[in-house]
Amino acid sequence: MSSRFIDWIWNIRGSLALAPGQSSDEVFSRLDPLFRQAGTSHDRTNDTLTFRKKDQAAQDKMSIFDGGVLRIQEGEGGPVLRYHLTSRTLLLCFLAPLLFLSFAGLTVALGNLAKPSAEAKKPEKKEVALPQNPIDKALGAPAPEKPKKPGKAEDDKKPSPTASYVFAAIFAALYAAGRILEDRLVKALLKKRVLGL
């Protein structure tokens, strides 16, 4: 199976139509401030700019990306800026729900394994009515409550996978929102820088 079928998870690709007659030098000089951030290294050859980020600051507008390639090519309607950006953060947000779902499955499996052994060890208890003190009876106090059925307290203590499901849902929502939002944000950022909009 080609990696292209799965690399959309942590890769963002897109293109941006440039103004007619806009040169590579002009485009990359306008983009230059984005790659002059702390922890960012970049290299430009002709119509291609490659960058890498390490320990990037949160204030960096492209901090979610760890690297990428921006290339200017001739399109049908004129020059086009094509970009291919990679993000480990998106990959981790994609994998986190799978991790929490595996925790939930493990919790359910351990709960099912522990249940039969707990039932085997449980001695049979007969419900016995508690005796009422004659003084309490004479004063009209209510009779003592019957003890709870055995096993209910043990069921309450059984580990629950609910927290794992909640965290899986949170990270799935974060990934979906982040993947859509970052795609739009980076395109808007590049458009603003390159076209001055």
Output the pLDDT for position 22: 84
Whether the predicted pLDDT of 62 surpasses 60 = yes
What residue ranges do the domains of the chain occupy?
3-90+180-195
Output the pLDDT for position 192: 92
pTM of model > 0.85? no
Q: How does pLDDT run across 25-34, given as a tens digit for each residue?
A: 899 999 999 9
Alpha helices, H only, the chain: 24-31, 88-121, 134-139, 152-157, 162-195
Which token pair is 57? 């600051």
Return the axis-axis angle of helices 162-195 and 88-121, rounded to nearest 10°: 180
- pLDDT (average), residues 96-121: 82
Measured between alpha carbons, how far is 167 from 185 in angstroms, rounded to an integer?
26
Q: How does pLDDT run across 143-189, given as a tens digit for each residue?
A: 777 766 655 555 556 778 899 999 999 999 999 999 999 999 999 99
11 pLDDT tier (thresholds 50, 70, 90): very high
- Nearest one of 136, 155, 133, 132 to 145, comparing CA atoms: 132
Q: Which residue is it, tokens 């499996």?
A: 109
Q: How does pLDDT run across 73-91, given as a tens digit for each residue?
A: 988 888 899 999 999 999 9
Domain 3-90+180-195 has CATH 3.40.50.300: no
124 pLDDT tier (thresholds 50, 70, 90): low
Mean of all residue pLDDT scores within the chain: 84
Whether the predicted pLDDT of 141 surpasses 90 = no
